C-alpha cells in the first residue's frame, strides 16, 4: 500500500519555520550593534521601516493566497500566476539566490559564536572550515526528510524561548541611562538598515513550504502574520532592553552582549546556536522548493523538477542551493552577506506587493477571503523601491540590470501559463476604460 505524503498545519508548517528564521543570527549578534550605533530612536526607526515592508508583504501574500490555489514554490508561485512567468521567473530566481545566500548568513553567524565559545579565533579561514562542515550537516538533515527537519525545530524553539527568558531576568545592573541618540561616529542609517533587514525576511520561510501544507489558504495568512507580529514585539522589546541595560561601548564592540547579560549564559549560547541553525535549516528547506517549482514551469532545466520519495522532496535542487550557500561561506563576511541578502529580498517583496496591487485592480475574479486595501500593497511596493535606493544605489542599479536581463531572456523564450495571468486583465481593463471614454 502506498504511503501518504506528509502535510503540515499552520503551527508546524508556517509559524514555526517563520518565527525561528526571524529570531536568528541578526537578533543575537547584530541587534546590539544596531542599537549601539544608532541609539534607541534610530534603532526603533530601522525596526519599524523593516516591518513596514514585512507587514505589507505578508498581508499581500496572505490576500493572494486566499484567492486562488497556492501550489509549490510559495512566493514564486504567487507572482508567476499573477504577473506571468517572465516576471515571476525573474523574481523566483532572485528569491532562490537570496534564500541560498541566507543559508551562509546563518551558518557564518553560528560559526562566529561557536568559535568564540571555545576560545578559537573567528578568522575567515576558521569560518570557512567550520562553516563547510555545518552546511554539510544541515544538508544531511534535509536529505533525511523534511518531516524530520520540522521536528528538530520544536527543540530549537524551546532553546530560543529559554534564552530569551534568561536575558529578560538578567541580574546585570542597568547602565547610567537610556541610550537614546546615535553617537557622533555611529554608522549611517542605510548601513544599519542593510545589516538589520535580513532579520525580518524569515516570514516567507513558511510560505516557501506552501506545497507541503494541508490547507495553504488557511495556514499562510494566520501563520505568516502571527510570526511577523511575534517577531516585531520581540525585536522592539529587546531594543528597549538593550538601550536601558547595556553601556554604549559594549553594544558597539561586544558580540557576546546577550551572553554577558543572561542569568544563565549557557541558555543564551544554546539559543544562539539553535536560532542560527534553525534559520539555516528554514532557508535550506525553502530555497530548493522554489527552484523545483521554477524547473516544473520550464524556467529552469527540467531535471531539477524531479523530486524524491512520497513527498517529492527536491534533492537535486537542494544540491544547487548547497553550492550557492557554500559560495557565501567562502566569502566569510557576515555583514557583506547581510547586505547582499537584503537587496535580493527587498526586490522580491516589492514585486510581491506590486503583484497583489495589480491583481486587485485588473482581475475581475479576484475575491480573496483575506481582503486588504489596495493602498497597503502600493505602499509596500514603494517602500521597497525607496529602501533599495537608500541602501545601496550602485547595488540597486546592478540588481536592476540583472533582473531586466533575466526578464528579457525569459520573455524571448515565450514562456506562458495555460491559465494565463493578470496582464490579460490589465489589457482588458484598459480597453474597457477606453471604450467608456468614447
What DSSP string runs through 227-262? HHHHHHHHHHHHHHHHHHHS-HHHHHH-TTHHHHH-
Please report, for residues 47, 264, 319, the alpha-carbon distance to residue 290 in angstroms, rounded to integers and kept in the order given: 28, 40, 13
Helix (H, G, I), strand (E, B) or coil at 313: strand
Of 305, 287, 309, residue with least CA distance to 297: 305
pLDDT of res. 1: 41
By the 8 A CB rule, do 92 and 73 touch? yes
By the 8 A CB rule, do 224 and 205 touch? no
CA torsion sign for 222, 225, 228, 230 is negative
Quote the CA–CA distance of 422 and 199 in Å, as a whole number: 32
Quote the CA–CA distance of 144 and 234 in Å, as a whole number: 32
Residue segments in the chain with a per-residue pLDDT below the cut of 70: 1-6, 145-146, 175-176, 414-438
Quote the CA–CA distance of 402 and 8 in Å, as a whole number: 36
Quote the CA–CA distance of 305 and 296 in Å, as a whole number: 5
Cell of 138: 544541515
Superfamily of domain 10-437: Amino acid/polyamine transporter I (1.20.1740.10)
Quote the CA–CA distance of 73 and 160 in Å, as a whole number: 28
Global pTM value: 0.85
Q: So where are the chain's domains?
A: 10-437
Please give the span between the terminal C-alpha atoms of the chain, in angstroms, as a whole number. Answer: 65
pLDDT of res. 343: 87
Cell of 93: 530566481
Which residue intervals of 309-438 are DSSP H helices?
A: 315-331, 334-362, 374-391, 393-412, 422-437
Quote the CA–CA distance of 306 and 323 in Å, as a whole number: 18
Helix (H, G, I), strand (E, B) or coil at 8: strand
Cell of 217: 489558504
Helix (H, G, I), strand (E, B) or coil at 359: helix
By the 8 A CB rule, do 193 and 338 touch? no
Q: Render the burial of 64-88: b for 16+ CB within 10 Å, e for the rest.
A: bbbbbebbbbbbbbbbbbbbbbbbb
Amino acid at each position: 500500500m502506498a504511503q501518504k505524503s506528509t502535510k503540515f498545519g499552520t503551527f508546524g508548517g508556517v509559524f514555526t519555520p517563520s518565527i525561528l528564521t526571524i529570531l536568528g543570527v541578526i537578533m543575537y549578534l547584530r541587534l546590539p550593534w544596531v542599537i549601539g550605533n544608532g541609539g534607541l530612536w534610530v534603532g526603533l526607526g530601522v525596526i519599524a521601516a523593516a516591518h513596514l515592508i514585512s507587514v505589507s508583504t505578508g498581508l499581500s501574500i496572505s490576500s493572494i493566497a486566499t484567492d486562488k490555489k497556492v501550489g509549490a514554490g510559495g512566493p514564486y508561485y504567487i507572482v508567476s500566476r499573477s504577473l506571468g512567468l517572465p516576471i515571476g521567473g525573474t523574481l523566483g530566481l532572485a528569491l532562490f539566490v537570496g534564500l541560498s545566500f541566507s543559508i551562509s548568513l546563518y551558518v557564518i553567524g553560528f560559526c562566529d559564536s561557536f568559535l568564540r565559545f571555545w576560545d578559537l579565533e573567528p578568522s575567515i579561514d576558521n569560518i570557512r572550515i567550520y562553516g563547510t562542515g555545518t552546511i554539510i550537516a544541515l544538508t544531511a538533515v534535509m536529505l533525511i526528510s523534511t518531516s524530520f527537519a520540522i521536528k528538530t525545530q520544536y527543540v530549537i524553539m524551546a532553546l530560543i524561548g529559554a534564552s530569551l527568558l534568561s536575558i529578560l531576568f538578567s541580574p546585570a545592573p542597568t547602565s547610567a541611562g537610556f541610550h537614546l541618540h546615535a553617537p557622533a561616529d555611529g554608522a549611517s542609517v542605510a548601513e544599519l538598515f542593510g545589516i538589520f533587514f535580513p532579520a525580518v525576511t524569515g516570514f516567507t520561510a513558511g510560505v516557501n513550504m506552501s506545497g507541503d501544507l494541508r490547507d495553504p489558504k488557511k495556514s499562510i495568512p494566520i501563520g505568516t502574520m502571527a510570526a511577523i507580529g511575534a517577531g516585531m514585539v520581540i525585536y522592539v522589546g529587546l531594543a528597549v532592553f538593550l538601550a536601558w541595560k547595556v553601556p554604549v561601548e559594549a553594544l558597539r564592540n561586544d558580540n557576546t552582549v546577550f551572553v554577558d547579560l543572561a542569568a544563565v549564559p549557557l541558555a543564551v549560547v544554546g539559543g544562539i546556536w539553535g536560532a542560527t541553525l534553525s534559520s539555516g535549516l528554514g532557508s535550506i528547506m525553502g530555497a530548493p522548493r522554489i527552484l523545483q517549482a521554477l524547473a516544473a514551469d520550464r524556467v529552469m532545466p527540467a531535471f531539477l523538477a524531479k523530486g524524491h520519495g512520497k513527498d517529492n522532496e527536491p534533492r537535486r535542487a537542494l544540491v544547487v542551493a548547497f553550492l550557492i550557500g557554500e559560495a557565501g561561506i567562502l566569502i566569510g563576511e557576515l555583514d557583506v552577506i547581510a547586505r547582499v541578502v537584503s537587496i535580493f529580498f527587498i526586490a522580491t517583496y516589492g514585486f510581491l506587493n506590486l503583484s497583489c496591487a495589480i491583481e486587485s485592480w485588473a482581475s475581475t475574479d479576484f475575491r480573496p477571503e483575506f481582503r486588504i486595501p489596495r493602498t497597503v500593497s502600493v505602499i509596500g511596493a514603494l517602500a521597497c523601491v525607496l529602501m533599495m535606493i537608500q541602501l545601496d544605489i550602485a547595488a540597486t542599479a546592478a540588481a536592476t540590470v540583472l533582473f531586466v536581463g533575466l526578464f528579457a531572456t525569459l520573455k524571448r523564450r515565450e514562456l506562458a501559463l495555460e491559465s494565463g495571468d493578470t496582464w490579460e486583465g490589465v489589457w482588458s481593463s484598459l480597453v474597457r476604460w477606453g471604450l467608456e471614454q468614447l
